[in-house]
């Protein structure tokens, strides 16, 4: 103690004596000892700031040795040292920072950039996050872990329908661009094995995405595959898992009971509803119940027997058979083996994958084999490098399942609810299908082929196969011209094919039906068949090949004190050709692979028609060829000053073979600019609690190509094989539109990155405003012009929102607890759309094909008719007419305008995100992800009386209908009308009462894993084993609706799955 | 220094690539092989051969004319407002209740196609090898455009009267494919002048014979000219072109060669059957036309003699005094809306009578009718004077051209002559409807889309 005091006093004296002493030193990387030119040195007391020279050296005059100096550099941990210590030893080694926000290298598909140098908005999913889920495809790995990205479900959504920050187009392609390694991926994304993926980056704003120019309008997803590393010993890794899934819930959607269905059939029968079908000239089918009623009417069975038989039918529910015979548990298996390593001059990565999928639809399975080989060769070390990647993916699928719609009684007539696939003894039963039972049964007796339809035989006879192959070869050459200037040449070849094969064997209903239909009576009781006996084989082939070539120069230079420029300049040429054909063979013999000729020219009378309907034998052969060509030039530059200020800019010009456009109009220049400011590097910055604080601002534009349009009159050519003159003809699809422009989407993004001390809490906040300009839209046109609607640049939209991500380390002892929160808010509005559509088209847009935009409202808006309750006297649904309840639907529709419709709100979530908690204790790890979607509305299905009274059956709400006065207190389901009333039905289907809030919170998945590490278990023959369990689609935790419906899956949520897996690193 | 040279070479390669003609060629390829920008004669022919566009004619005239009636339950089953309101000549201006109607838009689609072809032809270099085809295509486009304008004028403009034509609202005469040009109605005189001028030119360009009924020939243009002149009341010219037509046509069918019991007695016209068909066109389909509850006017039905083969060839007894029309010249279920030689005989005959030569008129009529009666049963019709002749010819015209779109036009022009004018009545259940001769409702309203978006003047209904 005394000694310390003594030295302290001494140093004080020395300090005073040493005022204005020059201090010299050098800042280096603590590990590699490379100089860190541009590092910032800051004296805390005086606030003086110095920058290290290019060689890392520095020199300054210190006024006091008791001051503390702070040394910082991008990507390195900040170091605080007393001046006195520096004076003793001027060498300062900085350790690379481990902060996740600082370390990340982002791939834009054109370059790899340190995240610190970006001014835009992106999300990077590392290997761990990509592998968190168990699945056979890569896209689903993005869900609920990518802020701002949502999988659209419900209203007008398709499979794998992704929106990044909302939708920025109306009628054009709305899907983000998917880039695999260097180029846009041309094949089917399900060909990619997720085990081969190193990382995924989602580029969200103009500054990061606009390098992709006219394809970037919907955002960009950059997928990077695994590669080997130089100077690394061989590593072998094996990953295998098994996933079991349940059957879909066939009872999820309530359905009219068989008993109610039969009651309606009785009602309709006595009204004479089935007379037309009974006397139909095409032997239109009738259900068993109606046949019984006819037999009773005709005196063939007495009343008692009728009731007995009907009672039996009332007890059946076809959904039991569907569940039992058409569905099963799913079973997926996944095996992935990879090897990687490298010498000083060579690195490699090799992988094999096998995936097998036994779908929960009986008859469907899928096997995928993937192979990847990637090799890098350093030809002249640090000067010339050659990389080669080869990828092969081959999928074979069987699609033999029987869909419920294929069991319908007639086109448009769903299956009757008391149908059965087997009798009590388990013998297969026939369904009524296409024709009346007695007609179908009599065919065989009359010398024709059997005309009955046995669903279980069909299931067994189906022979539908699909084979998908995809090859990718990527070669790149990198040459260092001089220090800081590299030239890259990258070439990629893709080839893929998709071959479908549907063989309707002679035993299949399809073949028998067609052969019978075209059977021609010979007059002596025998028939000649215009379609030869044998199977019918449909082949469907589509292939593509694509060439991509890119030349690029990267430039990197540091100069002066802390100045740095990174730039790239390149040219790219891409061409994709797609071609294919469909053909059909009749009289196909599968044993010898032969087929027979048929007469496509002459008309044949249909055997089932007593009215002399006729037709030609269906001719199915078609072919197509398409070409997609693109030419692009791009330039991107970043200027960094002293690690604090980052200025980015990019410009790109795209040209494509848009049809019928002058060459000079085929292109569009798109640009972006951005600024990032590392505030924590400022000399005045003194918040120890927030060692990282970065502000980003970017603005720019991306595009969207709509190749369906043209500036010239364009027409489709048809060879006329189906026209009555058989002359080739052309159909004008597009009137001339010299004003046609590309869709443009501009984005302003303001972002903030922060991190507290020791990265306890890190986060990112991004606000954005996107404008869709010159969006392609359709407006009605005066018909005398020759067109009734005009498709052109007719609409604008604006989308505003924010994405927030917060990661926190709540506990960091032996028990670790991390939380990741993602919150996205997104609101869009159509700002410029002159067209007003009919009221009906706004309320019913969700049953149509596409959005019906209305100015001032979100693109997907839920509208409804104002609801005035059921009429207490009749149970009619009522709306408002001049402020009072009314059931004059025609007048209600006539007086309703878009402005006085009920606007419920957006039909797509406005707020969405996920909350992920991960706990780890020793080698155990548990993680569960809760996702949420808020602020939107959906329309419930309910009973539709037009369907009920057409004998189609309908929703189970039928049993909740108004039946007597007073019921209106307890139900909103209208009474059964006496006759079909279309207006009453359209009013109820689109009334306010059926619209509900879609908000819900879902426990998406749970994963539990255990790691055995060699470090701890010396006897372990492997370097590590990971055992994991994963449960997916677990269930809804909370929903706003009381109806029990899953707003995202009105027809039934996906089945729960449970996976168990093993990952071994040798 | 050495490296600077390399950079220069690469930069040079980049720049030359951007400007090369290869680039243009690369981007020139069509994105889809089945797509075309119409440029060649083949393309233009393909556009005109689109029979789903070009060979379609309006049917609202059929619904509003007096040849056919529908039963009460049949009327209640009609689905479109065009049929329901059109049938009872409803006085409302929005006759179609906001619906878009093909009777207006399809003819204008034809005009658009023709204008695309006519503009495109100007850019095709003429030489000895393609001149004949070029002329035929131009003639076809001019004919088709006139056919569309003629059909529109029958529905959407008032009947043509020499005294008022220049002050009568016409129909938009669009002569350019530019969809941005605003339509104006102009006057009816100019509209007919355009039709006459185009057809006169078409006559010079079209071939004598064609192998497809969907393509017009000289006789087709002759007949359309005769029809236009007839509507204008220019009987000498109408007679002239009707004669020209008969000269260039292939004669008449003797109905004795047809089966009266057949559901479809006439040969399928396409591609090249039925000698009487000069130009094929089928009417827009409405449920009214094919309904089993729609039958011919009973007085008209009874006016056919038992030996008149048309009675059995044209009608099918549906019971309850409903005689459904089955005698389509299309040979199919579609109603015929095109041109046929028998109409030329009727125009020639009527014009001969009107021009004072009623003897010739009766001879012309008998030339036609002797092909319609059972062999050996036909007794030539005679008339004592012009007025009687005209009466006979008018009735025979109605009987021969039944279920075409001609009756409505005929009523319109007859109404301009006080002695021929006729009030129409209709009943549905207990309700009666009246359309007095010359009523404004003889001109159909223009669909509301055109009025709202195109801003042209509407036809008054009352």
Q: What are phi and psi of A14, to 5 degrees?
A: -60, -45
Among chain B residues, the shortest Cα distance to A716 is held by: B35
Q: What does the pLDDT average to over A160-181? A: 88
Helix (H, G, I), strand (E, B) or coil at A143: coil
Q: Residue A27 corresponds to which tokens in the numbers above?
A: 């800042």
Q: What does the pLDDT average to over A403-416? A: 88
Tell me which DSSP letter residue A681 carries: G
Residue with tokens 């070869």: A473
Protein fold of B5-254+338-454: 1.25.40
Q: For the residues of A404-445, what is the DSSP string, one character each?
A: SGGG-SBTTBPPPTT--SB-TTS-B-PBP-SS-HHHHHHHHH
pLDDT-based confidence at B45, cuts 50/70/90? very high
Among chain B residues, the shortest Cα distance to A785 is held by: B179
Contact A788 B105 (CB under 8 A): yes
Provide the shortest C-alpha distance from residue B215 to chain A (in Å).
Answer: 10
Among chain A residues, the shortest Cα distance to B451 is held by: A782
Among chain B residues, the shortest Cα distance to A622 is held by: B34
- Calpha distance A503→A501 (Å, rounded): 6
Contact A723 B51 (CB under 8 A): yes
Q: What does the pLDDT average to over A431-447? A: 92
Q: Is the pLDDT of residue A171 over 60?
A: yes
pTM of the full structure: 0.82
Q: Residue B91 corresponds to which tokens in the numbers above?
A: 């006085």
Q: Is the pLDDT of residue A44 over 80?
A: no
- Calpha distance A103→A398 (Å, rounded): 45
Among chain B residues, the shortest Cα distance to A551 is held by: B14
- Calpha distance A658→B29 (Å, rounded): 9
Contact criterion met (CB below 8 Å) for B54 and B274: no
Q: What is the pLDDT of residue A17?
A: 43
Please calculate the CA angle A562-A568-A573 and round it to the nearest 5 degrees: 175
pLDDT-based confidence at B11, cuts 50/70/90? low
Helix (H, G, I), strand (E, B) or coil at B94: coil
What is the number of H-type helices and E-type strands within chain B? Answer: 20, 11
Helix (H, G, I), strand (E, B) or coil at A264: helix
Q: What is the pLDDT of residue A15?
A: 44
Residue with tokens 């009289």: A587
HSE-CB at A788 with a 13 A cutoff on CA atoms is: 15
Distance of CA A712 to the CA centre of its chain: 34
Please calculate the CA angle A55-A58-A61 and round it to the nearest 5 degrees: 165
Q: What does the pLDDT average to over A238-249? A: 94
Residue numbers in A near B10 (CB within 8 A): 487, 551, 553
The closest alpha carbon to A417, from A320, A504, A336, A348, belongs to A320
Q: What are phi and psi of B45, to 5 degrees?
A: -60, -40
pLDDT (tens digit per residue) in A630-667: 888 899 999 998 888 999 999 988 888 775 555 445 66
Q: Which of A569, A624, A713 sits opposite B33 (nearest CB)?
A: A624
Q: Which of B10, B24, B116 sits opposite A713 (nearest CB)?
A: B116
Q: Which of B3, B50, B115 sits opposite A481 (nearest CB)?
A: B3
Contact criterion met (CB below 8 Å) for A550 and A571: yes
pLDDT (tens digit per residue) in A330-351: 999 999 999 999 998 999 999 9
- Higher pLDDT pick, A580 / A703: A580
Provide the shortest C-alpha distance from residue B401 to chain A (in Å).
Answer: 24
**Under 8 Å CB-to-CB from B301, ≥6 apart: which residues?**
B295, B311, B315, B323
Q: Which of B14, B100, B270 sits opposite A724 (nearest CB)?
A: B270
Helix (H, G, I), strand (E, B) or coil at B341: helix
- Calpha distance A270→A296 (Å, rounded): 12
Q: For the residues of A470-511, what is the DSSP string, one character each?
A: EEEEEEEEEEEEETTEEEEEEEEEEEEEEEEEEEE-TTSHHH
- Calpha distance B227→B229 (Å, rounded): 5
Tell me which DSSP letter residue B376 carries: T
The closest alpha carbon to B67, from B376, B409, B309, B363, belongs to B409
Q: Which of A571, A717, A786 sits opposite B17 (nearest CB)?
A: A571
Contact criterion met (CB below 8 Å) for A770 and A165: yes
Q: What is the pLDDT of residue A6?
A: 46
Find which of B12, B18, B20, B36 to mutate to test the A interface (most A CBs within 10 Å of its CB): B36
Lowest mean pLDDT among A393-397, A580-584, B332-336: B332-336
Q: What is the pLDDT of residue B96?
A: 83
* Segments in A796-888 forming alpha helices (H): 839-843
Query: DSSP E strands: which ranges in B257-297?
Result: 277-279, 282-283, 294-296
Q: How far from B33 is each of A356, A659, B36, CA to CA, in Å?
A: 38, 11, 8
Q: What is the pLDDT of residue B287?
A: 80
Tell me which DSSP letter residue A1009 carries: E
HSE-CB at B62 with a 13 A cutoff on CA atoms is: 28
pLDDT (tens digit per residue) in A846-901: 877 778 888 899 999 999 999 999 999 999 999 999 889 999 887 788 788 888 89
- Calpha distance A732→A830 (Å, rounded): 30
B132 exposure class (CB count in 10 Å sphere: 0-12, 13-18, 19+): exposed
Helix (H, G, I), strand (E, B) or coil at B34: coil
Q: What does the pLDDT average to over B189-195? A: 95
Q: Residue A641 corresponds to which tokens in the numbers above?
A: 């000053």
Q: What is the pLDDT of residue B17?
A: 58
Q: Which of A551, A663, A787 sits opposite B27 (nearest CB)?
A: A663
HSE-CB at A255 with a 13 A cutoff on CA atoms is: 22
**Which run of H or of E encompasses A370?**
strand A364-380
**Average predicted confidence (pLDDT) for chain A:** 88
Among chain B residues, the shortest Cα distance to A786 is held by: B109
Q: What is the pLDDT of residue A14?
A: 42
Contact A626 B32 (CB under 8 A): yes
pLDDT (tens digit per residue) in A517-546: 999 999 888 999 999 999 999 999 999 999
Provide the shortest C-alpha distance from residue A35 to chain B (in Å).
Answer: 26
Q: What is the pLDDT of residue A11?
A: 45
For residue A221, list its beta bridge partners: A178, A202
Residue numbers in B near A707 (CB within 8 A): 31
For residue A378, list its beta bridge partners: A385
Q: What does the pLDDT average to over A811-832? A: 93
Q: What is the pLDDT of residue A661?
A: 57
Q: Is the pLDDT of residue A76 over 70?
A: yes
Q: What is the ipTM of this complex?
A: 0.87
Contact B27 A612 (CB under 8 A): no
**Under 8 Å CB-to-CB from A844, ≥6 apart: which residues?**
A986, A989, A990
Q: What does the pLDDT average to over A10-28? A: 61
| Helix B188-205 and helix B218-232, axial crossing angle in degrees, nearest 10 | 160
Q: How far from A919 is each of A130, A1032, B56, CA to CA, in Å?
A: 18, 18, 73
The closest alpha carbon to A1036, from A914, A909, A930, belongs to A930
Q: Is the pLDDT of residue B349 over 50?
A: yes
Residue numbers in B near A786 (CB within 8 A): 108-109, 111-113, 115, 174, 177, 179
Residue with tokens 């006080």: B418
Provide the shortest C-alpha distance from residue B50 to chain A (in Å).
Answer: 5
Q: What does the pLDDT average to over A549-574? A: 89
Q: Which of A161-175, A177-191, A701-715, B235-249 has the highest mean pLDDT?
A: B235-249
Q: What is the pLDDT of residue A373?
A: 96
Q: What is the pLDDT of residue A7?
A: 47
Find which of B31, B211, B291 to mutate to test the A interface (most A CBs within 10 Å of its CB): B31
Find which of A627, A782, A788, A891 to mutate to test the B interface (most B CBs within 10 Å of its CB): A782
Please calculate the CA angle A475-A481-A483 and round it to the nearest 5 degrees: 120
- Calpha distance A172→A174 (Å, rounded): 6
Q: Is the pLDDT of residue B394 over 50?
A: yes
Provide the shortest C-alpha distance from residue B195 to chain A (in Å).
Answer: 17
**Under 8 Å CB-to-CB from A463, ≥6 apart: which residues?**
A400, A501, A502, A503, A504, A505
What is the number of H-type helices and E-type strands within chain A? Answer: 17, 51
- Calpha distance A1041→A1045 (Å, rounded): 7
pLDDT (tens digit per residue) in B107-144: 999 999 999 999 999 998 888 889 999 999 999 999 99
Residue with tokens 């040459």: A479
pLDDT (tens digit per residue) in A96-119: 765 433 456 778 888 888 877 888
> First and final CA of chain A: distance in angstroms?
55
- Calpha distance B146→B196 (Å, rounded): 8
pLDDT-based confidence at B449, cuts 50/70/90? confident
Q: What is the pLDDT of residue A323?
A: 94
For residue A589, list its beta bridge partners: A594
Q: Which of A631, A716, A784 sits opposite B450 (nearest CB)?
A: A784
The structural domains of chain B, with segments of one domain joined by +, span 5-254+338-454
Q: For the residues of A961-974, what is the DSSP string, one character each?
A: S--STTGGGT--SP
User: How crowded is residue A300: how many other Cβ atoms within 10 Å of its Cβ?
Assistant: 11
Provide the shortest C-alpha distance from residue A281 to chain B (in Å).
Answer: 15
The closest alpha carbon to A754, from A685, A673, A826, belongs to A685
Q: Which of A571, A733, A782 sits opposite B183 (nearest CB)?
A: A782
Q: What is the pLDDT of residue A215?
A: 84
Contact A784 B454 (CB under 8 A): yes
User: How crowded is residue B159: how many other Cβ atoms within 10 Å of its Cβ?
Assistant: 22
The closest alpha carbon to A348, from A383, A389, A381, belongs to A389
pLDDT (tens digit per residue) in B134-185: 999 999 999 999 999 999 999 999 999 999 999 999 999 999 988 888 889 9
Helix (H, G, I), strand (E, B) or coil at B306: coil
């Amino acid at each position: 103690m005394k000694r310390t005091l003594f030295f302290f006093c001494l140093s004080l004296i020395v300090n005073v004596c040493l005022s204005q002493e020059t201090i010299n030193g050098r800042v280096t990387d603590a590990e590699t000892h490379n100089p860190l030119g541009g590092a910032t040195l800051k004296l805390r007391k005086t606030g003086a700031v110095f920058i290290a020279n290019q060689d890392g050296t520095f020199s300054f005059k210190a006024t006091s040795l008791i001051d503390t100096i702070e040394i910082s550099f991008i990507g390195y941990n900040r170091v605080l040292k007393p001046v006195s210590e520096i004076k003793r030893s001027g060498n300062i080694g900085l350790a690379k920072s481990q902060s996740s926000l600082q370390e990340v290298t982002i791939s834009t598909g054109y370059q790899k950039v340190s995240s610190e140098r970006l001014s835009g908005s992106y999300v990077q999913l590392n290997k761990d996050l990509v592998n968190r889920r168990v699945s056979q495809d890569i896209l689903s790995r993005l869900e609920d872990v990518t802020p701002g990205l949502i999988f659209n479900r419900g209203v007008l959504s398709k499979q794998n329908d992704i929106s990044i920050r909302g939708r920025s187009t109306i009628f054009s392609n709305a899907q983000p661009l998917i880039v695999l390694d260097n180029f846009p991926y041309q094949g089917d994304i399900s060909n990619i094995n997720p085990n081969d993926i190193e990382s995924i980056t989602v580029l969200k704003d103009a500054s990061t995405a606009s390098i992709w120019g006219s394809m970037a309008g919907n955002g960009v997803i950059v997928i990077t595959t695994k590669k080997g590393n130089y100077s690394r010993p061989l590593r072998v890794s094996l990953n295998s898992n098994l996933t079991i899934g349940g059957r879909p819930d066939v009872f999820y959607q309530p359905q009219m009971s068989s008993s109610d269905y039969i009651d309606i059939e009785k009602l309709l029968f006595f009204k004479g509803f089935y007379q037309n079908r009974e006397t139909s000239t095409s032997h239109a089918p009738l259900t068993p119940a109606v046949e019984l009623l006819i037999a009773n009417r005709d005196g063939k069975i007495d009343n008692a027997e009728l009731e007995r038989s009907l009672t039996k039918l009332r007890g059946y529910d076809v959904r039991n058979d569907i569940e039992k015979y058409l569905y099963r548990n799913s079973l997926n298996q996944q095996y992935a083996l990879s090897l990687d390593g490298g010498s000083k001059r060579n690195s490699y990565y090799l992988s094999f994958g096998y995936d097998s999928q036994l779908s929960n639809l009986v008859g469907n399975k899928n096997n995928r084999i993937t192979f990847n080989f990637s090799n890098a060769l350093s030809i002249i070390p640090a000067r010339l490098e050659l990389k080669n990647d080869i990828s092969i993916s081959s999928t074979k699928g069987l699609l033999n399942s029987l869909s419920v719609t294929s069991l319908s009684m007639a086109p448009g007539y769903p299956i009757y609810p008391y149908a059965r696939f087997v009798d009590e003894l388990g013998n297969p039963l026939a369904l009524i299908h296409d024709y009346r039972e007695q007609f179908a049964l009599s065919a065989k007796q009359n010398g024709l082929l059997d005309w009955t339809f046995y669903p279980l035989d069909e299931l067994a006879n189906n022979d539908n196969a699909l084979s998908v192959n995809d090859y990718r070869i990527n070669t790149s050459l990198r040459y260092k011209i001089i220090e800081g200037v590299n030239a890259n040449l990258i070439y990629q070849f893709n080839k893929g094919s998709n071959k479908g094969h549907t063989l309707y064997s002679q035993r299949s209903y399809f073949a028998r039906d067609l052969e019978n239909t075209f059977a021609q009576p010979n007059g002596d009781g025998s028939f000649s068949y215009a379609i030869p006996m044998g199977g019918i084989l449909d082949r469907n082939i589509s292939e593509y090949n694509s060439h991509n070539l890119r030349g690029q120069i990267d430039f990197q230079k540091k100069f002066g004190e802390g100045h740095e420029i990174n730039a790239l300049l390149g040219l790219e040429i891409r061409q994709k050709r797609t071609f294919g054909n469909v053909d059909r063979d009749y009289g196909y013999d599968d044993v010898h692979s032969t087929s027979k000729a048929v007469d496509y020219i002459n008309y044949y009378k249909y055997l089932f028609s007593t009215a002399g309907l006729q037709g030609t034998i269906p001719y199915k052969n078609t072919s197509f060829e398409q070409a997609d060509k693109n030419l692009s030039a791009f330039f991107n530059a970043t200027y960094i000053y002293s690690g604090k200020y980052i200025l980015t800019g990019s410009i790109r010009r795209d040209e494509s073979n848009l049809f019928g456009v002058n060459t000079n109009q085929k292109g569009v220049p798109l640009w972006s600019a951005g600024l990032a400011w590392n505030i924590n590097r400022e000399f005045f910055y003194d918040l120890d609690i927030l060692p990282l604080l970065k502000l980003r601002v970017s603005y720019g534009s991306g595009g969207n190509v709509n190749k369906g349009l043209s500036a010239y009159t364009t027409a489709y050519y048809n060879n006329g094989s189906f026209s009555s003159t058989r002359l080739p003809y052309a159909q004008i699809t597009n009137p001339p539109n010299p004003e046609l422009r590309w869709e443009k989407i501009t984005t302003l993004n303001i972002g903030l990155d922060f991190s507290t001390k020791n990265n306890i809490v890190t986060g990112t906040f991004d606000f954005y405003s996107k404008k869709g300009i010159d969006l392609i839209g359709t407006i009605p046109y005066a018909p005398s012009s020759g067109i009734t609607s005009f498709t052109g640049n007719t609409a604008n939209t604006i989308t505003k929102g924010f994405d927030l991500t917060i990661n926190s380390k709540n506990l960091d002892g032996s028990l670790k607890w991390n939380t990741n929160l993602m919150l996205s808010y997104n609101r869009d509005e159509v700002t410029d759309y002159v067209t007003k559509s009919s009221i009906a088209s706004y309320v019913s847009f969700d049953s149509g094909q596409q959005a019906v935009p209305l100015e001032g409202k979100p693109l997907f808006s839920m509208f409804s008719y104002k609801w005035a309750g059921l009429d207490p006297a009749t149970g009619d649904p009522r709306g408002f007419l001049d402020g009072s309840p009314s059931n004059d639907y025609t007048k209600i529709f006539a007086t309703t305008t878009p402005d006085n419709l009920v606007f419920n709100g957006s039909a797509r979530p406005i707020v969405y995100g996920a909350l992920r908690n991960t706990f780890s204790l020793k080698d155990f790890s548990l993680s569960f992800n809760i996702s949420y979607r808020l602020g939107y509305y959906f329309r419930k299905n309910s009973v539709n009386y037009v369907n009920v009274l057409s004998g189609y059956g309908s929703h189970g709400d039928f049993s909740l209908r108004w039946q007597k006065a007073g019921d209106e207190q307890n139900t909103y389901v209208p009474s059964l009308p006496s006759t079909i009333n279309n207006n009453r039905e359209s009013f109820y289907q689109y009334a306010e009462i059926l619209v509900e809030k879609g908000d819900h919170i879902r426990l998406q998945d749970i994963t539990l894993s255990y790691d055995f590490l060699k470090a701890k278990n010396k006897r372990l023959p492997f370097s590590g084993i990971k055992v994991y369990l994963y449960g997916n689609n677990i269930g809804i935790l909370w929903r706003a609706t009381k109806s029990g419906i899953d707003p995202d899956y009105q027809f039934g949520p996906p089945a729960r799955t449970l996976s168990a897996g093993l990952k071994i690193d040798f | 220094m050495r490296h600077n040279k390399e950079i220069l070479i690469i930069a040079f390669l980049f720049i030359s690539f951007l400007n090369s003609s290869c680039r243009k060629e690369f981007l020139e390829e069509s994105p889809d092989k089945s797509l075309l920008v119409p440029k060649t004669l083949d393309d233009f022919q393909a556009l005109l051969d689109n029979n789903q566009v070009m060979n379609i004619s309006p049917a609202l005239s059929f619904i509003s004319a007096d040849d056919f009636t529908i039963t009460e339950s049949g009327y209640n089953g009609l689905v479109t407002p065009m049929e329901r309101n059109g049938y009872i000549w409803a006085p409302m201006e929005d006759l179609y209740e906001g619906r878009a109607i093909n009777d207006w838009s399809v003819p204008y689609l034809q005009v658009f196609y023709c204008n695309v072809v006519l503009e495109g032809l100007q850019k095709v270099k003429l030489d000895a090898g393609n001149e004949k085809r070029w002329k035929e295509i131009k003639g076809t486009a001019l004919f088709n455009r006139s056919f569309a304008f003629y059909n529109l004028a029958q529905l959407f403009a008032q009947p043509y009267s020499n005294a008022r034509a220049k002050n009568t609202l016409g129909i938009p005469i669009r002569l350019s494919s530019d969809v941005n040009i605003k339509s104006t109605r102009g006057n009816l005189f100019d509209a007919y002048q355009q039709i006459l001028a185009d057809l006169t030119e078409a006559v010079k360009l079209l071939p004598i014979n064609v192998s497809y009924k969907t393509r017009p020939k000289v006789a087709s243009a002759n007949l359309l000219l005769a029809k236009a002149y007839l509507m204008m009341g220019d009987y000498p010219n109408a007679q002239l072109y009707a004669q020209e037509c008969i000269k260039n046509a292939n004669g008449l069918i003797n109905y004795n060669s047809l089966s009266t019991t057949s559901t479809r007695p006439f040969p399928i016209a396409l591609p090249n059957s039925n000698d009487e068909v000069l130009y094929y066109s089928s009417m827009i389909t409405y449920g009214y036309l094919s309904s089993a509850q729609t039958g011919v006017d009973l007085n008209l039905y009874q006016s056919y003699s038992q030996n008149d083969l048309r009675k059995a060839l044209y009608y099918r007894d549906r019971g309850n005094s409903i005689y459904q029309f089955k005698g389509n010249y299309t040979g199919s279920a579609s109603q015929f809306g095109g041109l046929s030689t028998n109409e030329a005989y009727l125009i020639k005959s009527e014009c001969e009578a009107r021009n004072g030569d009623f003897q010739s008129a009766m001879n012309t009529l008998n030339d036609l009718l002797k092909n319609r009666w059972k062999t050996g049963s036909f007794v030539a019709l005679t008339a004592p004077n012009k007025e009687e002749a005209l009466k006979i010819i008018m009735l025979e015209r109605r009987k021969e051209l039944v279920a075409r779109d001609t009756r409505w036009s005929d009523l319109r022009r007859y109404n301009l002559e006080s002695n021929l004018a006729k009030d129409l009545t209709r009943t549905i259940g207990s309700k009666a409807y009246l359309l007095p001769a010359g009523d404004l409702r003889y001109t159909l309203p223009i669909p509301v889309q055109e009025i709202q978006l195109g801003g042209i003047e509407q036809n008054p209904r009352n």
